[in-house]
């Protein structure tokens, strides 16, 4: 029997159905994990750790929702909500931002989406690609490496991103930091938005307040927004280890998420933007998914109303990950051979160490393959350097790996020991 001919594929289908960096990486990780958890030291994921105090908080909230006959629970699971999100949740979010930061926002400045990834699918395709006036615009990334999950979100034939090399400040014998190279930024009419994550997945880089303000000013001169992804940052989960200020105006779009606060399964993203864009995001949600997941909003609502969410971020979540980062750095110093020339990006937040091996004789992808053969899962760095010109010769993009430190300490130590062995064999 003859095989069915393939369906003619749209540009949208080609871009999102792969092959692409994030799906290939997840497939590869899934295949490796199928070998058995007892044989794999998993330092490659981005899932939040299980923090007992935080898990207890969510269990207590669910118990409250089930109290008094479960009326609140029934409303949570039985009703479609407004496509922009629960009006009460959006009002609570706006009130929290007014109290904490003094911003002039109302619920009309707040939209809920089905996770941060969906928020960026909507936002980036709204702000760039083929425009209604016939022009084509791109999203400018002032610094790469940048979050791999953005890379394949575009639905048009043209590349969605244009990226810039950072400057690299070497610090001591084993540390470094990325900085925006403003001399090479060249923002112009071909750009629809400037995008940063703060702190950045994969590098944990936190752009300084001065860098953020400079970018905001340059974007404002062009009449385009600065988009700041706060998935790991302020105000929650607040996994940020240096002084940083969260600011907003109508030329800025902020995104937040409940995932890294310990609720990835609820798929709850939050966007703070000017009202006309919020209305567009609401319409997009209605078209694509009717409405959003109610569970995350219901669980977090009283913590927003009381302000407790800020205390949890500052006193529980951030210290937990900062201690984990210190353990991972200790293991790097203990096990990575000096001959590898390793440097770790300054640990400024998020869940990762970003390791650079200048002059690495193999690619980071090959390093990943060799580590996996010994039972260690890390993330090769190449896929995080998207948006650069094709064939860019910059060797740095092939010399870095991402290591997660959310695993138990014994797994982190064993993983670095294996990584040290692999590096020692090169």
By the 10 Å C-beta count (0-12 exposed, 13-18 middle, 19+ buried), 106 is classed as: middle
pLDDT for the residue numbered 149: 92
Residue 370 lies in a domain: yes
pTM of the model: 0.94
> Tell me: the pLDDT tens digits for 47-69?
888 899 999 999 999 999 999 88
pLDDT for the residue numbered 87: 95
Do 289 and 26 touch, CB atoms closer than 8 A? no
pLDDT for the residue numbered 69: 85
Is the domain of 344 the same as that of 289? no
Is the domain of 185 the same as that of 301? yes
Tell me the average pLDDT across 272-289.
96
pLDDT for the residue numbered 10: 83
pLDDT for the residue numbered 68: 81
> Tell me: the pLDDT tens digits for 156-205?
878 999 999 999 999 999 999 999 999 999 999 999 999 999 999 999 99
Can you point out the beta strands (E) in 358-424? 376-377, 379-380, 400-404
Is the domain of 320 the same as that of 304? no
Do 252 and 225 touch, CB atoms closer than 8 A? yes
pLDDT for the residue numbered 46: 75
> Tell me: the pLDDT tens digits for 72-88?
888 899 888 899 999 99
Tell me the average pLDDT across 276-294.
94
SS3 216: helix
Is the domain of 272 the same as that of 339? no
Domain count, the chain: 2
Residue 399 lies in a domain: yes
Q: Select from 278, 309, 340 the last residue of a domain.
A: 309
Place of tokens 């792969």: 18
Tell me the average pLDDT across 145-151.
95
- pLDDT > 90? residue 8: no
Cα angle: 63, vertex 64, 69; to 5 degrees? 90
Do 261 and 311 touch, CB atoms closer than 8 A? no
Where helices occur in 250-387 by DSSP H, the ranges are 275-289, 295-306, 308-312, 318-335, 364-373
Give the pLDDT band (50/70/90) at residue 280: very high
> Residue 125 is part of a domain; what is its CATH number?
3.40.640.10
The mean-pLDDT minimum among 39-53, 146-160, 232-246 falls in 39-53
pLDDT for the residue numbered 35: 56
What is the overall mean pLDDT for the chain?
92
pLDDT for the residue numbered 20: 62
> Tell me: the pLDDT tens digits for 307-359?
999 999 999 999 999 999 999 999 999 999 999 999 999 999 999 999 999 99
Residue 71 lies in a domain: no
More confident residue, 17 or 235: 235
- The domain of 98 spans 78-309
Is the domain of 210 the same as that of 153? yes
pLDDT for the residue numbered 19: 64
> Residue 353 is part of a domain; what is its CATH number?
3.90.1150.10
Give the pLDDT band (50/70/90) at residue 3: confident
- pLDDT > 80? residue 21: no
Tell me the average pLDDT across 292-300.
94
Do 58 and 64 touch, CB atoms closer than 8 A? no
**Helix 52-66 vs helix 295-306: crossing angle, to nearest 10:** 100
Tell me the average pLDDT across 252-264.
96
């Amino acid at each position: 029997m003859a095989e069915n001919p393939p369906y003619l594929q749209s540009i949208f289908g080609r871009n999102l159905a792969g092959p692409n960096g994030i799906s290939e990486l997840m497939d590869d990780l899934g295949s490796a994990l199928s070998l058995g958890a007892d044989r794999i030291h998993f330092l490659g994921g981005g899932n939040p750790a299980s923090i007992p105090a935080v898990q207890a908080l969510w269990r207590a909230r669910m118990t409250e929702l089930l109290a008094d006959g479960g009326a609140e629970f029934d409303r949570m699971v039985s009703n479609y909500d407004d496509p922009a999100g629960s009006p009460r949740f959006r009002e609570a979010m706006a009130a929290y931002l007014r109290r904490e930061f003094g911003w002039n926002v109302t619920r009309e400045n707040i939209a809920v989406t089905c996770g941060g990834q969906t928020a960026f699918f909507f936002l980036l395709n709204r702000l760039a690609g083929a425009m209604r006036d016939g022009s084509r615009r791109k999203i400018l990334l002032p610094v790469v490496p940048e979050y791999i999950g953005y890379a394949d979100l575009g639905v048009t034939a043209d590349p969605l991103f244009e990226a810039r090399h950072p400057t690299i400040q070497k610090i001591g014998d084993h540390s470094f930091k990325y900085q925006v190279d403003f001399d090479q930024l060249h923002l112009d009419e071909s750009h629809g938005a400037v995008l940063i994550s703060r702190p950045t997945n994969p590098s944990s880089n936190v752009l300084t307040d001065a860098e953020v303000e400079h970018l905001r000013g340059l974007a404002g001169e062009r009449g385009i927004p600065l988009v700041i992804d706060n998935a790991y940052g302020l105000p929650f989960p607040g996994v940020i280890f240096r002084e940083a200020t969260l600011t907003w105006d109508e030329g800025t779009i902020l995104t937040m998420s409940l995932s890294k606060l310990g609720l990835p399964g609820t798929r709850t993203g939050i966007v703070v933007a000017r009202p006309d864009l919020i209305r567009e995001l609401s319409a997009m949600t209605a078209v694509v998914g009717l409405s959003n997941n109610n569970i995350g909003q219901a669980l977090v609502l009283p913590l927003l109303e009381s302000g407790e969410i800020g205390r949890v971020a500052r006193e529980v979540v951030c210290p937990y990950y900062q201690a984990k980062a210190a353990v991972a750095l200790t293991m790097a110093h203990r096990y990575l051979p000096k001959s590898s020339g390793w440097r770790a990006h300054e640990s400024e937040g998020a869940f990762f160490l970003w390791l650079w091996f200048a002059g690495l004789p193999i690619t980071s992808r090959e390093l990943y393959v060799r580590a996996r053969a010994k039972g260690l899962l890390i993330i090769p760095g190449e896929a995080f350097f998207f948006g650069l010109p094709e064939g860019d010769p910059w060797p740095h993009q092939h010399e870095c790996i991402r290591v997660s430190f959310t695993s138990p300490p014994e797994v982190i130590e064993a993983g670095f020991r294996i990584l040290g062995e692999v590096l020692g064999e090169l």
